[in-house]
């Protein structure tokens, strides 16, 4: 039975890289009829950020990524929040101590800093481990009564992992292939602190074991910790899960990891939903608030570092589940392309039920104080969505439906206007006035007949009229706009527009 977990630390908002990790875990679990677990790794109390856990839950829910077990849904393997599991870790660190796989160390942070400086002055880097641990202040060098005294006197201490000597750690990562590391370069990482809490490494391994995790799928930034984790599994004599480390998401220019600053600087989101920093009050924009549909966002994200084995790009969650395979995750970093991201939303906007688009359009409009019926909203949406990536964009691009343009585009007038423009406008006003009804098809007939009879250049004529109605030479089908605004308003705009030609 496949069991995978997403294990974020509530230290801030979830970057899109984190969402992608959750997504791949989800796709993998569903593909294999497995179980997907949400575990909150909050043992580092100093980095705790209020609101971050709620943010993570809300983001994943928006994306349609669902959990079978976890902090918010429960399950047999709980609690799923590490701060509620302190007694479990204490039990397991004692096993390591008892089996001589871990030891107490008593250096204060000042002493460690002094050691670091000392090494640096000799051009070396200090690393607590195989090469110097027998010369430092710890339970490998002190007598057991000295250790007992130090512990009883309430001295702060840490418990470090005792990395085995002369070992080559061999790991098979599903995505990276074989990784070999000599144990000498791994330091004796802190596993437990005198505040009674474990560090990430111990808690992560113990939980993955106790929760029967079969595959650890996580970001590349955890690859350097993998040798240590493998050694920990060996020290406990536990069976290891399989590992898959996902490639980084890179900046659009390919230079380095996508960071929150890039988003601000280049004008796109790097967070799924808006995040307000509780300390600084700063607001970071989110894909949701930028107007993305969650399906489009998730589709785009899935293809940042994975392909379905063919050249499909538009895929539903179900299709992605069916196609998902870790062997098709790329090794190299995946460039985030903000334009491509918009394209995904464009495609989803075109395919969406027009009734839903109309509702969204109507809602966005009413935020601007413009209220129209749902039928009208549908009429405009049909026309405007082809050109738009987002409903919000449809709204800003369709203001001429609701009010006459304040100014007419001088460049367009220069391009399309002729000395005959005013005459054409006058003629067409006259013809419109005679029309008993005012519908797109009859308006087209009237204008087409006029163009033919007078043998006009269609581009000049239609753009002259369009500039009066829309303000510029762009926009959807002209007679449909006229039908919408009605005869009176059409004529009024033509009268006003005339003066510019
Ligand atoms: N808590 C770690 C994080 O925040 C989890 C890493 C892992 O999946 O092992 O990314």
Q: Supply angle C-alpha 251, 253, 257, rounded to 5.
A: 25
Between CA 187 and CA 191 the distance in angstroms is 12
CA 201 to chain centre: 26
Q: Between β-strands 158-161 and 168-173, what pairing exists: parallel, antiparallel or unpaired?
A: unpaired
Q: What is the pLDDT of residue 467?
A: 98
- Taking the centre of ligand 1 as the mean of its atom positions, its distance from the CA of residue 63, in whole angstroms, is 20
pLDDT tens for residues 356-411?
Answer: 999 999 999 999 999 999 999 999 999 999 999 999 999 999 999 999 999 999 99
Between CA 112 and CA 120 the distance in angstroms is 12
pLDDT band for position 264 (cuts 50, 70, 90): confident
Q: Which of 14, 23, 28, 41 to mutate to test the pocket of ligand 1 (most atoms within 8 A of CB)?
A: 41
pLDDT band for position 262 (cuts 50, 70, 90): confident
Q: Supply angle C-alpha 245, 249, 253, rounded to 5.
A: 145
Q: Examine the pLDDT at 413 and tell me if it is beyond 90.
A: yes
> Under DSSP, is residue 272 helix (H, G, I), strand (E, B) or coil?
coil
42 contacts: CB under 8 Å, gap ≥ 6: 9, 10, 48, 53, 81, 82, 83
pLDDT band for position 138 (cuts 50, 70, 90): very high
> Under DSSP, is residue 71 helix (H, G, I), strand (E, B) or coil?
coil
The pTM of the full predicted model, rounded to 2 decimals, is 0.93
Q: Examine the pLDDT at 81 and tell me if it is beyond 90.
A: yes
pLDDT tens for residues 346-359?
Answer: 999 999 999 999 99
- Taking the centre of ligand 1 as the mean of its atom positions, its distance from the CA of residue 113, in whole angstroms, is 27
Q: Examine the pLDDT at 260 and tell me if it is beyond 90.
A: no
- Taking the centre of ligand 1 as the mean of its atom positions, its distance from the CA of residue 8, in whole angstroms, is 5
Between CA 362 and CA 319 the distance in angstroms is 31
Looking from the CA of residue 8, the nearest atom of ligand 1 is 4
- Nearest CA among 18, 4, 24, 9 for reference residue 306: 24
Q: What is the pLDDT of residue 196?
A: 87
CB 9 within 8 A of CB 44: yes
- Taking the centre of ligand 1 as the mean of its atom positions, its distance from the CA of residue 1, in whole angstroms, is 22
* Residue pointed to by tokens 């969406």: 352
Q: Examine the pLDDT at 267 and tell me if it is beyond 90.
A: no
Name the token pair of 334. 């995946």
CB 338 within 8 A of CB 266: yes
Name the residue with the closest Cα to ligand 1, atom 2. Answer: 8
DSSP label of 222: G
CB 303 within 8 A of CB 330: no
Q: Examine the pLDDT at 266 and tell me if it is beyond 90.
A: no
355 is catalytic: no
Tally of residues, the chain: 501
Looking from the CA of residue 225, the nearest atom of ligand 1 is 9
Residues in contact with ligand 1 by the CB-under-6-Å rule are: 7-9, 41, 204, 218, 222
Between CA 4 and CA 207 the distance in angstroms is 12
Mean pLDDT to the nearest integer, 451-475: 97
pLDDT band for position 114 (cuts 50, 70, 90): very high
CA 230 to chain centre: 30
pLDDT tens for residues 195-214?
Answer: 889 999 999 999 999 999 99
- Taking the centre of ligand 1 as the mean of its atom positions, its distance from the CA of residue 300, in whole angstroms, is 23
Catalytic one of 81, 257, 260, 340: 260
- 3-state SS record for 356-374: HHHHHHHHHHHHCCCCCCH
Q: What is the pLDDT of residue 265?
A: 79
Q: Which of 8, 225, 240, 246 to mutate to test the pocket of ligand 1 (most atoms within 8 A of CB)?
A: 8
Mean pLDDT to the nearest integer, 463-477: 97
Between CA 176 and CA 327 the distance in angstroms is 10
Centre a 10 Å sphere on the Cβ of residue 432 and count the other Cβ atoms it contains: 18
* Residue pointed to by tokens 């399309």: 416
Mean pLDDT to the nearest integer, 5-17: 95
Q: Examine the pLDDT at 344 and tell me if it is beyond 90.
A: yes
Name the residue with the closest Cα to ligand 1, atom 5. Answer: 7
pLDDT tens for residues 420-429?
Answer: 999 999 999 9
Q: Examine the pLDDT at 219 and tell me if it is beyond 90.
A: yes
Name the token pair of 203. 């808690």
Q: Is the peptide bond before 79 cis (omega within 30 degrees of 0)?
A: yes
Average pLDDT taken over every residue of the chain: 96
pLDDT band for position 91 (cuts 50, 70, 90): very high
Give exposure, 125-136, as e/b (b: 16+ Cβ within 10 Å): ebbbbbeebeeb
Q: What is the pLDDT of residue 448?
A: 97
Between CA 180 and CA 178 the distance in angstroms is 7
- Nearest CA among 62, 81, 69 for reference residue 16: 62
Q: Examine the pLDDT at 453 and tell me if it is beyond 90.
A: yes
Q: Examine the pLDDT at 415 and tell me if it is beyond 90.
A: yes
| φ and ψ at residue 123, rounded to 5 degrees | 75, 25
- Taking the centre of ligand 1 as the mean of its atom positions, its distance from the CA of residue 323, in whole angstroms, is 25
| φ and ψ at residue 180, rounded to 5 degrees | -120, 135
Name the residue with the closest Cα to ligand 1, atom 10. Answer: 8
Q: Supply angle C-alpha 175, 177, 179, rounded to 5.
A: 120
Q: How many CA atoms does the CB half-sphere of 396 hold within 13 Å?
A: 6
pLDDT tens for residues 158-202?
Answer: 999 999 999 999 999 999 999 899 999 999 999 999 888 999 999
Name the residue with the closest Cα to ligand 1, atom 3. Answer: 8
Mean pLDDT to the nearest integer, 238-255: 94
Q: Please, where are the H alpha helices in 153-225?
A: 200-210
Looking from the CA of residue 208, the nearest atom of ligand 1 is 9
Name the token pair of 391. 């409903």
Centre a 10 Å sphere on the Cβ of residue 47 and count the other Cβ atoms it contains: 12
Looking from the CA of residue 200, the nearest atom of ligand 1 is 1
Between CA 301 and CA 226 the distance in angstroms is 25
Q: Between β-strands 3-6 and 35-38, what pairing exists: parallel, antiparallel or unpaired?
A: parallel
Q: What is the pLDDT of residue 210?
A: 98
DSSP for 112-154, please give it: HHHHHHHHHHTT-----STTTGGGSSBTTTS-HHHHHHHHHTT
> Under DSSP, is residue 85 helix (H, G, I), strand (E, B) or coil?
coil
Q: What is the pLDDT of residue 47?
A: 87
Between CA 24 and CA 210 the distance in angstroms is 22
Q: Could you tell me which residues are beta bridge partners of residue 182? A: 168
């Amino acid at each position: 039975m496949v069991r995978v977990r997403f294990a974020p630390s509530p230290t801030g908002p979830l970057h899109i890289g984190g969402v992608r990790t959750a997504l791949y875990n989800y796709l993998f679990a569903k593909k294999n009829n497995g179980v997907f677990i949400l575990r909150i790794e909050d043992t580092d109390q100093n980095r705790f950020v209020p609101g971050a856990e709620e943010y993570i839950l809300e983001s994943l829910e928006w994306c349609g990524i669902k959990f079978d077990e976890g902090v918010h849904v429960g399950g047999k393997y709980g609690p799923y929040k590490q701060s509620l599991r302190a007694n479990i870790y204490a039990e397991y660190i004692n096993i390591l101590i008892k089996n001589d796989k871990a030891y107490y160390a008593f250096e204060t942070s000042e002493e460690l800093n002094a050691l670091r400086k000392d090494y640096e002055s000799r051009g070396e880097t200090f690393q607590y481990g195989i090469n110097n641990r027998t010369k430092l202040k710890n339970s490998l060098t002190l007598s057991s009564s000295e250790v007992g005294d130090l512990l009883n006197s309430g001295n702060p201490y840490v418990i470090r992992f005792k990395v085995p000597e002369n070992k080559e750690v061999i790991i098979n990562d599903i995505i990276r292939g074989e990784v070999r590391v000599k144990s000498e370069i791994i330091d004796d990482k802190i596993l437990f602190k005198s505040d009674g809490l474990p560090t990430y490494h111990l808690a992560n391994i113990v939980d993955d074991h106790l929760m029967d995790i079969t595959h650890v799928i996580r970001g590349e930034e955890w690859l350097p910790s993998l040798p240590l984790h493998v050694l920990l599994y060996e020290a406990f004599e536990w069976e290891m899960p399989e590992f898959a480390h996902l490639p980084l998401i890179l900046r659009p220019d390919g230079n380095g990891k996508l960071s929150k600053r890039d988003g601000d600087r280049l004008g796109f989101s790097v967070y799924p939903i808006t995040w307000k920093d509780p300390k600084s009050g700063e607001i970071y924009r989110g894909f949701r608030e930028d107007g993305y549909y969650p399906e489009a966002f998730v589709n785009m994200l899935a293809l940042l570092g994975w392909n379905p084995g063919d050249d499909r790009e538009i895929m539903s969650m179900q299709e992605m589940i069916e196609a998902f395979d870790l062997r098709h995750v790329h090794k190299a970093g995946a460039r985030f392309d903000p334009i491509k991201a918009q394209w995904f939303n464009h495609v989803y906007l075109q395919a969406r039920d027009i009734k839903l688009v109309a509702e969204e359009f109507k809602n966005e409009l009413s935020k601007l104080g413009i209220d129209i019926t749902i039928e009208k909203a549908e009429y405009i949406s049909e026309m405007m969505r082809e050109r738009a990536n987002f409903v919000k964009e449809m709204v800003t691009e369709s203001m001429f439906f609701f009010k006459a343009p304040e100014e007419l585009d001088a460049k367009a007038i220069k391009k399309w206007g002729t000395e005959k423009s005013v005459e054409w406008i006058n003629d067409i006003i006259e013809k419109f006035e005679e029309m008993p009804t005012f519908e797109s098809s009859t308006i087209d007939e009237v204008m087409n007949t006029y163009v033919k009879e007078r043998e006009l250049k269609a581009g000049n004529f239609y753009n002259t009229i369009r500039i009066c109605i829309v303000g510029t030479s762009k926009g959807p089908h002209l007679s449909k706009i006229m039908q919408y605004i009605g005869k009176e308003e059409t004529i009024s705009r033509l009268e006003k527009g005339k003066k510019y030609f």
